[in-house]
């Protein structure tokens, strides 16, 4: 059986307290990066974090382009006329048949949100250009309508819709 001297006790207590103090400092140091991580930095956003977009500044008939996962996303506040035109076309006449209703969120029919990458060879189409007042791809002349559906040119498919949801009447979350 061994006994521990009071000197050893003191030394061991000191080591224990010192180690505890280092652990506490380490824990405090670890908290800051965690807190700062709550706001995703640019590289995190580029890697795929969801982004929120305020729609309030986009006037009727205008659009904005934002980036999500490095891809251009067009958000268009369509006029009543643009929505009506998109819905008047017989779906069966379209190269990639899809109703306008299937491409927007119910109750937010004026908002079109599409990935701005041409489905032909990947150029970025220009908004509010082309015969259908939608998008025009200058690379090889593909023309998309106000629903982002392919109407003319070599592109085989409609502009894709990214995953998104309305978090309020004037804000969407993409991703
Ligand atoms: S890449 Fe758009 S038409 Fe070819």
Atom index in ligand 1 nearest the CA of residue 125 equals 2
Per-residue pLDDT of the chain (175 residues; tens, 9 = 90+): 444 444 455 555 544 444 444 455 555 455 444 444 455 566 666 677 999 999 999 999 999 999 999 999 999 999 999 999 999 999 999 999 999 999 999 999 999 999 999 999 999 999 999 999 999 999 999 999 999 999 999 999 999 999 999 999 999 999 9
Q: Where are the domains of the chain?
A: 45-174
Can you tell me the distance from the alpha carbon of 153 to that of 141, in angstroms, rounded to the nearest whole number?
A: 6
Please, which residues bridge with residue 124 across strands? none
Does residue 154 have its Cβ closer than 6 Å to ligand 1? yes
pLDDT at 46: 64
Q: Whose CA is nearest to atom 1 of ligand 1?
A: 121
pLDDT at 5: 45
Atom index in ligand 1 nearest the CA of residue 155 equals 3
The DSSP secondary-structure symbol of 94 reads S
Q: Does the annotation mark 128 as catalytic? A: no
Can you tell me the distance from the alpha carbon of 103 to that of 157, in angstroms, rounded to the nearest whole number?
A: 13
Q: Does domain 45-174 have CATH number 3.30.420.590?
A: no
**Left if phi > 0, otherwise alpha if psi is -120 to 50, otherwise beta: which for 173?**
beta
pLDDT at 43: 66
């Amino acid at each position: 059986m061994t006994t521990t001297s009071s000197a050893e006790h003191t030394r061991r207590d000191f080591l224990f307290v010192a180690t505890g103090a280092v652990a506490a400092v380490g824990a405090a140091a670890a908290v800051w990066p965690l807190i700062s991580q709550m706001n995703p930095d640019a590289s995190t956003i580029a890697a795929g974090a969801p982004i929120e977009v305020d729609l309030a500044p986009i006037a009727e008939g205008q659009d904005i382009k934002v980036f999500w996962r490095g891809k251009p996303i067009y958000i268009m506040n369509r006029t009543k006329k643009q929505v009506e035109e998109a819905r008047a076309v017989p779906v069966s006449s379209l190269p990639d048949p899809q109703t306008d209703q299937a491409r927007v969120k119910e109750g937010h029919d004026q908002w079109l949100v599409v990935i701005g990458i041409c489905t032909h060879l990947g150029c970025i189409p220009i908004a509010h250009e082309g015969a259908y007042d939608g998008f025009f791809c200058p690379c090889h002349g593909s023309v998309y309508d106000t629903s982002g559906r392919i109407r003319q040119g070599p592109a085989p498919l409609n502009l894709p819709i990214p995953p998104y949801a309305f978090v309020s009447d004037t804000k969407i979350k993409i991703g």
